[in-house]
């Protein structure tokens, strides 16, 4: 798709299908997220709902929340990891133009 010079979404083809621009899959992120999503879907389908989630007649049981401190800890770890990851990624996608100016592409 993206990686082959002849792929249908390659930015190197003169007549590609994506509005004449193509796509660049930076660091294989498209594959990583697609494989992770499919693996998560299959895992959820194989495991099914948790024990005690539904009554015998099929009605849903309301589950109480758990530990608020673990929610805060998880949020902090994600936040810290995200802000540690993004500056490193930004230096890789920073583009230098002929005029000497830099332009970063954010998503």
pLDDT digits (tens, 9 = 90+) for 23-77: 777 667 778 888 999 999 999 999 998 888 889 898 998 888 789 999 999 999 9
Per DSSP, 53 falls in state: S
Note whether 70 and 89 are same-domain residues: yes
Query: Does the pLDDT value for residue 20 go beyond 80?
Result: no
Q: What pLDDT, on a 0 to 100 scale, did the predictor assign at position 56?
A: 87
Number of helices and strands in the chain (H, E): 2, 2
User: What average pLDDT score do residues 8-16 get?
Assistant: 68
* Rounded Cα gap, residues 92 and 27, in angstroms: 10
* Domain around 80: 66-107
Same domain? For 54 and 8 the reply is: yes
E strand or H helix that includes residue 94: strand 94-96
pTM for the structure as a whole: 0.50
pLDDT for res 107: 46
* Residue 73: per-residue pLDDT: 96
| CA-wise closest residue to 64 among 49, 74, 77, 52 | 52
Residues 23 and 75 in one domain: no
Q: Which helix or strand (DSSP H or E) is residue 20 part of? A: none
């Amino acid at each position: 798709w993206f990686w082959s010079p002849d792929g249908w979404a390659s930015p190197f083809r003169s007549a590609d299908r994506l509005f004449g621009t193509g796509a660049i899959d930076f660091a294989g992120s498209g594959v990583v997220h697609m494989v992770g999503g499919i693996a998560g879907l299959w895992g959820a389908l194989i495991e099914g709902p948790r024990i005690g989630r539904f009554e015998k007649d099929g009605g849903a049981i309301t589950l109480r929340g758990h530990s608020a401190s673990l929610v805060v800890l998880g949020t902090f770890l994600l936040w810290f990891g995200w802000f540690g990851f993004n500056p490193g990624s930004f230096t890789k996608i920073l583009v230098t133009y002929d005029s000497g100016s830099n332009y970063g592409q954010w998503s």
